């Protein structure tokens, strides 16, 4: 059996790494296809390098453009690859435009599709990710759900066949790198263990709305003054572009103790900064999970989350984009380190998923 694995962005690389490695370890035949959605050294190759992944067999290098244009180019490119290099099964992960492109091409070619990280729901269809994950779940054959909550959401939509509770592959990747976190990084950035905040913010619903983006910046200013702690901000290119476009860059730069890191840091550095932070502030789904696994409290700069288990166990709170709400959430979460049980599994999810696909378990 030959399996295609489609990926295109940072989170797919980190979360499909354990699946790719499990295929390789079992000597199974797989074909890695990169859409090229993320393309910069620091957003793409750096992640392959740190996770010791093989180079993709194909990179489609989809050109920049809107959602429809890019997804369309991915559909054409993936179909072309699979016509000349046929496979028996398709694996996709998560909720990006690359995910939906891979799943849709496979479904049209009557190939079985395995969706890793199935069943997440924010119940907010204005988010491109929510549309993508709903589509993928409904056209997939095998649904690899990370948590019981995800199994429940699938069931609520009538998806009960081919559902497997596997845990989340991010645990595998965090465990893989946990012993390799560089201890010189904090000193390099002039911060001390447990005495800084780590920030990321890149989701379209925040970056592409100047009111929300300004609210978050004002919230950060309040938090910086209130806590007196430095804030390390690893900045996504999308956010940088929007801050410049809306004339908000200057307002961010003058926040006392806030340090912008651009281009954004790699996965190992991100895990290191999270592991030693007082607090993680983010709108990323991945960081909500990673901080939870690392035992560090998280404040999510959104009004909803498709990771509700983090709220339930108290590792995460939703703060939205109102400055006072962000300040209140940071005060509430400061000092709440650990004390919860990681709800995402035992770090063997990649192996479990590949065993199911290959029919060996």
Binding site for ligand UD1 (CB under 6 A): 9-11, 37-40, 43-44, 64, 95-97, 128-129, 202, 237-238
Q: Is the dihedral of CA 7, 360, 158, 346 positive or negative?
A: negative
Q: What is the DSSP string of 114-139?
A: EEETTT---S-TTSHHHHHHHHHHHH
Length of the chain, please?
361
Helical segments of 140-277, H only: 148-156, 169-178, 185-188, 204-207, 210-227, 237-245, 249-253, 267-275
Give yes or no: 202 in active site: yes
3 in Cβ contact with 357 (< 8 Å): yes
* CB count in 10 Å sphere of residue 124: 15
Between 43 and 136, CB nearer to ligand UD1: 43
Rounded least distance, CB 2 to ligand UD1, Å: 26
d(CA 346, CA 294): 13
Rounded least distance, CB 290 to ligand UD1, Å: 13
Rounded least distance, CB 202 to ligand UD1, Å: 5
Residue among 34, 38, 115, 202 flagged as catalytic: 202
Rounded least distance, CB 107 to ligand UD1, Å: 18
Between 203 and 352, CB nearer to ligand UD1: 203
Between 37 and 315, CB nearer to ligand UD1: 37
Q: List strands edge to edge, sheet with 197-199.
A: 258-261, 231-234, 197-199, 279-282, 298-300, 316-318
Rounded least distance, CB 53 to ligand UD1, Å: 16
Between 53 and 229, CB nearer to ligand UD1: 53
Rounded least distance, CB 67 to ligand UD1, Å: 6
d(CA 184, CA 204): 33
Between 200 and 278, CB nearer to ligand UD1: 200
Query: Buried b / exposed e across 316-340, counting CB within 10 Å, b at 16+?
Result: bbbbbbbbebbbbbbeebbebbeeb
* SS3 at position 59: strand
Between 194 and 237, CB nearer to ligand UD1: 237
19 in Cβ contact with 116 (< 8 Å): yes
Q: What is the DSSP letter of 303?
A: S
Catalytic residues: 202
């Amino acid at each position: 059996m030959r399996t295609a694995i489609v990926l295109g962005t940072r989170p797919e690389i980190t979360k499909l790494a354990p699946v790719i490695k499990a295929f390789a370890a079992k000597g199974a035949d797989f074909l890695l296809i990169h859409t090229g959605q993320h393309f910069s050294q620091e957003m793409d190759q750096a992640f392959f390098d740190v996770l010791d992944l093989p180079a993709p067999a194909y990179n489609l290098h989809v050109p920049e453009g809107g959602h429809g244009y890019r997804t369309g180019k991915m559909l054409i490119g993936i179909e072309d690859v699979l016509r000349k290099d046929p496979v028996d099964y398709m694996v996709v992960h998560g909720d990006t435009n690359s995910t939906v492109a891979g799943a849709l091409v496979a479904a049209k070619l009557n190939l079985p599709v395995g969706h890793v990280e199935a069943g997440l729901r924010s119940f907010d269809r204005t988010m491109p990710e929510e549309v993508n994950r709903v589509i993928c779940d409904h056209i997939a054959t095998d649904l690899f759900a990370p948590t019981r909550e995800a199994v429940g959401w699938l069931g609520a939509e009538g998806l009960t066949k081919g559902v497997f509770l596997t845990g989340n592959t991010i645990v595998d990747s965090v465990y893989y790198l946990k012993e390799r976190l560089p201890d010189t990084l904090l000193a390099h950035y002039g911060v001390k263990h447990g005495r800084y905040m780590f920030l990321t913010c890149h989701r379209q619903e925040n970056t592409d709305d100047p009111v929300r983006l300004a609210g978050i910046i004002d919230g950060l200013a309040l938090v910086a003054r209130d806590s007196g702690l430095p804030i390390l901000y690893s900045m996504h290119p999308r956010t940088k572009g929007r801050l410049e476009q809306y004339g908000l860059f200057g307002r961010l730069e003058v926040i006392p103790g806030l340090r912008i890191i651009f281009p954004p840091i790699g996965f190992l550095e991100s895990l290191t900064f999270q592991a030693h932070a007082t607090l993680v502030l983010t709108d990323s789904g991945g960081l909500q999970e990673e901080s939870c696994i690392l035992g560090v409290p998280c404040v999510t700069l959104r009004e909803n989350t498709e990771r509700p288990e983090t709220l339930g166990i108290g590792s995460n709170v939703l703060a939205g984009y109102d400055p006072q709400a962000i300040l209140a959430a940071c005060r509430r979460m400061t000092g709440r380190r650990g004390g919860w049980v990681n709800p995402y599994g035992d770090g063997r999810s990649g192996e479990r998923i590949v065993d199911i696909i290959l029919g060996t378990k």
